[in-house]
Amino acid sequence: MKIHHLNCGSMCPHGRRLMQGEGGWLEPASIVCHCWLIEGRQGLTLVDTGLGTAQVNGLVHGYLKALMRPKLSLAETALAQVQALGFKASDVRDIVLTHLDFDHAGALADFPSATVHVHAPELAAAQAPVTLVEKQRYEARLWAHGPNWRTHQASGERWSGFESVRALGDSDDEILLLPLAGHTRGHTGVAARDGNGGWRLHCGDAYFFHTEVEAEGHCPTGLNVFQTLLAVDNSARKANQARLRQLNTQVGITLNSAHCPHEYSRDLAA
C-alpha cells in the first residue's frame, strides 16, 4: 500500500510558546490536520478527512474560528488534494475515522459514496451526546447527508499489545482500528502497512505533539491544559499515551499524531 500524507486543515491559534513549547507567547502556533490517503488493492481509503468544503465555505462555528483560527483553504481540503493526485471523489471507497470531531470528520459530505468506518462507541456518543463537552464537540450537520456507516467493535487478534479489529473486513488491505479511548469515548488509532513493510499508526488525538510520545513524555503547558479540557476520560488518555510511548520505541512502527507539524514535515520529506 502507498500512503499519501495530506494536511487537510491548517490552524493557527495564538500562543505558540504555550502550545508548542517554542516561539513567542502571542505568535501563532502551527497546527495541521494530518490525514492519510491510502492507495490499496481495493481502491482508495482516507484516514480522517480534516475540514471539508462546506466548512471552508462558512460552516465552521464562530467560536471555533475565533479560537483555532483555521486558514479555511479549499486547496487544503481532502477533496481538492485527492483530485490533484488525479483521482475522483468516487474513487475513495472507504473512510476510516479516528473519531468524529469537526476537524477529523468535516469532509464526509465531500465523499458521499464512501463507506465510513468508525468505532461503535464513537458513533453512539456522537448520535446521543451526554456530557457538555460531547454536546459541544459533535456537529450532526457534518453527517446530515446520511453516510454509509459501518461500525466496529474491538475484537479479534491483538496488535502490539492493543485490542484491534480489521476495519475493512475481508479486504486484502491491512487496516486496523485500535481502541484508544480518552479524548473521546470511541476514539481509535488506525494502523496500516506502509510501502516498506513496516507499520504506521495514526493516533488521531491520542496525543497532539511529538514530544508527548518521546522518552520523557513532555507536553507544552497550554497544550496539556487544552487536551485535559477536551478529554472525556483523562485518566484513560494518559494511560494510552504511556502505552504509545512504549510502542514508539519499537522498530518498524511509526506513529503519527493528527496535529503535530513536526511529524507531518518528517513524513512529507521521507
* pLDDT tens digit at each of 270 positions of the chain: 899 999 999 999 999 999 999 999 999 999 999 999 999 888 999 999 999 999 999 878 767 778 889 999 999 999 999 999 999 999 999 999 999 999 999 999 999 999 999 999 999 999 999 998 899 899 999 999 999 999 999 886 789 999 988 888 766 678 999 999 999 999 999 999 987 889 999 999 999 999 999 998 999 999 999 999 999 999 999 999 999 999 999 999 999 999 999 999 999 988
Helix (H) or strand (E) holding 237: helix 234-247
Pairing of strands 115-119, 92-96: parallel
pTM for the full predicted model = 0.96
Q: Could you tell me which CATH number the domain at 2-269 has? A: 3.60.15.10
Does residue 86 sit in helix, strand or coil? coil
Q: Where are the domains of the chain?
A: 2-269
Return the amino acid letter for 187.
H
Q: What angle do CA 32, 36, 42 make, to 5 degrees?
A: 165
Q: Which three cell numbers stand for residue 158?
A: 491483538
